[in-house]
Structure formats: structure tokens, C-alpha cells
Chains A and B, each alone.
Chain A
Amino acid sequence: MWLLLMLVAFFFNGCGVFGLRILAGMGLTETHVNQYLLYFYLGGFLFMAMVLLMQRVTPNPKEMGIGMLMAVCSLSGTAALAYALGNYQIPGNIAFPISNGGSLFVVITGGVILFRERLGFYGVSGCALGTLAIVLLSIS
């Protein structure tokens, strides 16, 4: 079940991100990326709002708080990276590997230390290879 759900998330997340490549293909990355992201979030919210309305489900305060905190994390990460690249001329082949590879390392460490998750030999090898792949992909 876990692998199936993760593969669904893997595929859909990749397809969602591909929208930015489509935007670049239209030549709008320099001028319309903020508007694109605004409508991106709006599209997701409207779809889920309809699902919740049909199921008559309302978010509780805990879900509201953690959901908003996650939104702040997501936006502040994107904005900080964009400012570092745009206003401070940090090269992309340095900024992306640090941000992507580093955050993955933070989450793996957090999982092991905070949530007491145990990684076996395969897990450690997979995380090491995966982090390497992400760093290489960011550089390329």
C-alpha cells in the first residue's frame, strides 16, 4: 500500500512540477511565475474544497494550524531560493543542490531523531543514492 501511494505521489508531483517547464516553453517564466503559482495553489484549493463540500467535511483547528504552517514553509523556501538566485546572483548549480539535497538530509535526520524511525541497510543505501541523484540532477 505504501509503495503504491508513494508511486502515485511520485508521478503526480512530477507532473505538477512539469507545469513550470510548460510555462518556460511559453516564454513566461521571467514575467508570470508569481501569477502562475497563485493560480496553481488556487486550482488545488478549489478542487479539494469541492471534495470536502461533497463529503461535508470541515478542517479542525489542528489541521488548519499545521496546514498553514506547511504553506508558510513551502512559500518561504521558494521565495528565499528565488531571491538568492535573482537578487544575490548565487549560481543555480550551488543553490539547488544545497537546498534540495540539504532539505532531504534534514528530513531523514528528523525522521530518525524526532520520530525514532529505523533505517536498515537498504534504507540507508537508498537515501544516500537518492540524495546523490538529487544533487546531481540539481547541478545538471
Chain B
Amino acid sequence: MGYFLVFWSLFSYGMLGICHKLAERKQCRPQPLAAMLMFGGFLGMNVFVLLGAGYSIPSKALYTALICGTIALCALWAFQEGIKHGKIATSWLIINLSAAIPTVASIVIYQEAVNLKKLGILGLIVVAIVLVWLDRLEDLKRLDATGQSLVNVSASSQDHENRERH
């Protein structure tokens, strides 16, 4: 049952990524979509809180939650705007790689130990981001080349029509 739950979480997070692209294809606007996701999350968490210890939380944790929720919403908004211009595969990779930020922040703020393994992983993350950026540049070059050849085809057919008229 434990492993079934792990695979269920894998499937759920995967579906979440696919829904982002589906929303973009269905021309959903990023702002209302992000609002509905946050509202749905809030409604769902009510069930867990009511089954648990209730709504009380220390004020510092409350402010942290409200601020971090707002920041995460901005991430969601930027992500949904961004996938209009790129692929879900590489975009989802970048959003997953953001796990590097808490790792770096924990090292800087909480003075967590830095070891060679952590540095190696952070290096891998930087290389991966550069590679997907290069992939995007290749796509843009391909689009430019396609656009240019379409312009050439259209210009030559226009030229041909003009000559036939004369």
C-alpha cells in the first residue's frame, strides 16, 4: 500500500504538469487559473485541518504561509504565461529544478553544511538549465528558418504570377 501511494503521488504530480499544458491549449487565462488552483487547494486543505488539530497556528508561521503562498502564486502565474512560449517538458523541468533555491537558501541562512555532493548537484542543475535554454534557441532558429523559407516561397510564386500576367 505504501508504494502504491508513492506511485499515486507520481501520477498526481505528472497529471498536474499535463493539466498546465492542457489549460494553455484550451486558452485558459493564467490569472483566473492560478486563482482557482489556490482556491481549490484552500478548500481541500480545510478537510485535512478539520480532521486534525484545528485552525490555530502561531502568528509567525501564519505570516510566513501567507507571504510564501503569494510568492508561489506569482511563480504559478509566470509559469502559465511562460508555457505559451515554450514546451511543457523543458518548462516543467525548470520548475522542478527550483528545489535548488531552498537548498542554497538553507546553506546561506541556516548555515547548513555544504559538501561536494550538494555542490555537484547544484552544478548539474545549472548545466541542465543552460541545455534546455540552448534547446529553446535551436527551436527559435528552426522557426526563423521555416518563416524565411515560407517568405521566399511566397515571394517567388508572386513573381511567377506577375511574369505570367505580363
List chain A positions with a Cβ less than 8 A from chain B. 1-3, 5-23, 25-26, 28, 31-32, 34-49, 51-52, 55, 57-60, 62-64, 66-81, 83-84, 87-90, 94-95, 98-100, 102-108, 110-112, 114-115, 117, 119-120, 122-123, 125-127, 129-134, 136-137, 140
Give chain A residues whose Cβ lies under 8 Å from the Cβ of B55: 35, 38
Max chain B C-beta neighbours (<10 A), residue from A70, A100, A105, A132: A70
Q: Quick one: given A40-B72, A126-B132, are A13 and B33 in contact (CB under 8 Å)?
A: no
Tell me whether B34 and A10 are in contact (CB under 8 A). no
Q: Are B49 and A35 in contact (CB under 8 A)?
A: yes
Could you tell me how many residues of chain B have their Cβ less than 8 Å away from some Cβ of chain A?
A: 112
The 6 A-B pairs of least Cβ separation, nearest first, read: A14-B101, A67-B36, A71-B40, A88-B2, A106-B14, A43-B69
Could you tell me if A137 and B18 are in contact, using CB atoms closer than 8 angstroms? no
Majority SS of interface residues in chain B?
A: helix
Residues of chain B touching chain A, judged by Cβ–Cβ distance below 8 Å, are 1-3, 5-23, 25-26, 28-29, 31-46, 48-49, 52-58, 60-62, 64-79, 81-82, 85-103, 105-106, 110, 117-118, 120-121, 124-125, 127-136, 138-139
